[in-house]
Structure 1
């Protein structure tokens, strides 16, 4: 199990908890991964999955009648690998990928990363130690966590490359990275699309995230009278956050799953 951690009780978190426990079959859970469920790592492949997280997500998927989705900037296939054997509905690459249910294939938008743009970013990475280029099908992430002084250089190179492809892609700032995503897509468009699916339709959305890219999904969730829970870290300070970090997120989800199980025993499904 995940080690004990203190969960700060913000008004949003308290209201969300009370609503979910009072209306478990009227809620849908949307989860970011890096920095939310998992602690950030120096490189994407070095993230560690906490003990008990995968069965916890399976329990929540059952308790909420399948209304649990991943909303990530990563490729969904990478998330499947990290959480194997668990597969959930979800969206990857900031809305550029969609999977409507665990048993379905991943659908991807048709936008393709131009060869010249990818070549330029790889040339930059080759010239500056610590820069990591992560192709994502129709998107791209350029990490500079291991080369923090390179932020202006990375941004300038991306902007120069994008000038040749005006209107096709957008630059999204993240935690020690910049991402290129197809224009018009975001985690907000992803949540809106997922919320229309049968397992999520007419449910109150609860979005949990930790970074700038999650803010579009927060806005959509709140516009649907749902909840936006912010996770403390490099983007949200303790004064703005509802949960103190990924350990606090997992602990809250553990408490929620336990109490939902008790409710299930008292009020069995018909």
Structure 2
């Protein structure tokens, strides 16, 4: 499917009882923070997400680059269906076997530590089988971080580079958010519904493409161009407003009645 021109994107319609909603987290539900640990849901967001999950019969899932235990911390006490680490972890299904730490991965970690020492503000997020290098607190280091990752990826068999917003991540080549959506859509309560994927980053393009191909639709958050998303919301605040409107009684969502 070709990318959709930004001029053709409009606000997403309301959900109905036949939808399955897949939500990216960082940049979609959470504003970015200097480090991944500093994020927080806006006040009042958790009850809205809880209510919308109920209205959709539980067919609301988080699809994130964060591991599941981090998602559970951010959304506590709510524990939603979720795909963590871009789909490497899937709640209710066996975790994908993580590759044993290789010498090449250890070499990359050591090089990243040296780079972070040279560029204060670079954050190394070790996710076990994955490693993410953030430069939000050191924007001038972005080119150095990217060059480091590109220099090492050729030695990491079975991995690929996943760029994001002020981050580049080394992830298994056979894992992405689109495959996570496809896996969840084969399970109850998602099976047989229309998938709706909401996300902001390059990692979410896989989810957009999967949702569109499965007869659903997709929503880009932010102003990025050259996306496969069909609809658009300008920022995280607009996402939460849209979610809230989908929980309110009225003519726009009488399908829930």
TM-score range, shorter chain: 0.7 to 0.9
Structure 1 ranges of 4+ moved more than 4 A: none
After superposition, where does 1:151-162 map in structure 2 within 5 Å?
151-162=142-153
Report the equivalent of 2:60: 68
Is residue 132 of structure 2 the alignment partner of residue 132 of structure 1? no
Is residue 246 of structure 2 the alignment partner of residue 256 of structure 1? yes
Asked whether the equivalents of residues 120 and 161 of structure 1 are also in contact (C-alpha less than 8 Å), the reply is no
Asked whether the equivalents of residues 41 and 74 of structure 2 are also in contact (C-alpha less than 8 Å), the reply is yes
* 1:186-207 superposed Cα distances (whole Å, 9 cap, x missing partner): 1111111111111100100000
1:106 CA drift (Å): 7.1
Report the equivalent of 1:44: 36
Cα RMSD between the aligned structures?
2.3
Report the equivalent of 1:245: 235
Asked whether the equivalents of residues 116 and 122 of structure 2 are also in contact (C-alpha less than 8 Å), the reply is yes
Q: For the residues of structure 2 that align with 1:207 and 1:141, how far apart are their CA atoms?
A: 23
1:109 CA drift (Å): 3.3
Report how many aligned residue pairs link the two structures.
243
Could you say if the C-alpha distance between residues 204 and 178 of structure 1 is closer, same or farther in structure 2, counting changes exceeding 3 Å? same
1:161 CA drift (Å): 2.0
Is residue 89 of structure 2 the alignment partner of residue 97 of structure 1? yes
1:178 to 168, 175, 199: 168
1:149 to 135, 140, 154: 140
Name structure 1 gaps, 5 residues minimum: 1-9
Report the equivalent of 1:226: 216
**SS of structure 2 residue aligned to 1:120:** helix
Name structure 2 gaps, 5 residues minimum: 1-7
2:97 to 87, 95, 109: 109
Is residue 110 of structure 2 the alignment partner of residue 119 of structure 1? yes
* 1:154-199 superposed Cα distances (whole Å, 9 cap, x missing partner): 112112222222x321111100110111012111111111111111
Tell me the TM-score normalised to structure 1 length: 0.83
Report the equivalent of 2:20: 28
